[in-house]
Amino acid sequence: IAGITQAPTSQILAAGRRMTLRCTQDMRHNAMYWYRQDLGLGLRLIHYSNTAGTTGKGEVPDGYSVSRANTDDFPLTLASAVPSQTSVYFCASSEVAASNEQFFGPGTRLTVL
Partner 1 sequence: GQQLNQSPQSMFIQEGEDVSMNCTSSSIFNTWLWYKQDPGEGPVLLIALYKAGELTSNGRLTAQFGITRKDSFLNISASIPSDVGIYFCAGQLGTGNQFYFGTGTSLTVIP
**Least CB distance from residue 112 to partner 1, whole Å?**
20
Report if residue 26 touches partner 1, rule: CB under 8 A. Answer: no
Number of residues that bind partner 1 (CB under 8 A): 27
Give yes or no for residue 51 binding partner 1 (CB under 8 A). Answer: no
87 binds partner 1 (CB under 8 A): no
Find the binding residues for partner 1 in span 53-82 (CB under 8 A): 56, 58-60
Longest CA pairwise span in the chain (Å): 37
